[in-house]
Structure 1
Amino acid sequence: MHVLIATDSVHTTAAACDYLESRLDPEDTVTVVSVPGTDARDADDALNVANARLLGYATVETDRLASDGDPTSAILSAVADRTPEIVVVGQHAGSPEAGPRLGSTARGIIEGVDVPVVVVPLSF
């Protein structure tokens, strides 16, 4: 199985890892892409969290995507380029202030890909 995690924060990555750990096989590949938003350091740290948390569960690849201010387009391009079988995203920006609603990036990914999308809830 090939999974793509799209993240912008350590909170989103941690929630994705919580979801995936029991579902992965050592032969699986997890590609983690981060699109820096307002906090580029958090997006970079999110890649490190994935490496640390998923070590031994699957092969992990990470990539910091360039964005022209539109993270949805960058993620959709990454999905098209990497052809995962499933995409995992957070429900909204990885911030407690974001609220419980589905964010525009998650919605754009759900509407823009032709593979299953898992939306993980964020807890703080």
Structure 2
Amino acid sequence: MCEYCLISEVNRSSGCQVDHIISVKHGGSTTADNLCYACIFCNLQKGSDLGSINWQTGELVRFFNPRRDFWGEHFQLNEAVIQPITDIGEVTARILDFNGDERILERQALIAAGQ
């Protein structure tokens, strides 16, 4: 299961990949506390970024870290839409494109199928 968007790899033809939460080029290690399972969509969108600018405050905000953070503290699932509830959730959802049209359609199909 992708530790960012929570879509199971069973439901993705491309499966999941191991992602460096903090990329090696930014000093991240290849150890369990810095690795997570990510779908190809989240992994490609995230790239080696560490965070993004909060558009309301102009502040740099780090991304959700699956090893430090609890998903439910930063996001909630509202039908097929992942709603960010913190600044960390907002920048993560925006940059990883959690609520792009195709991703919402994918979640709607999974919900309709009872998954």
TM-score with structure 2 setting the length: 0.32
Which structure has the larger Rg? 2
Relative contact order: is structure 1 or structure 2 higher (C-alpha 8 Å, sep ≥ 6)?
Answer: 1
TM-score with structure 1 setting the length: 0.30
- Which is richer in helix? 1
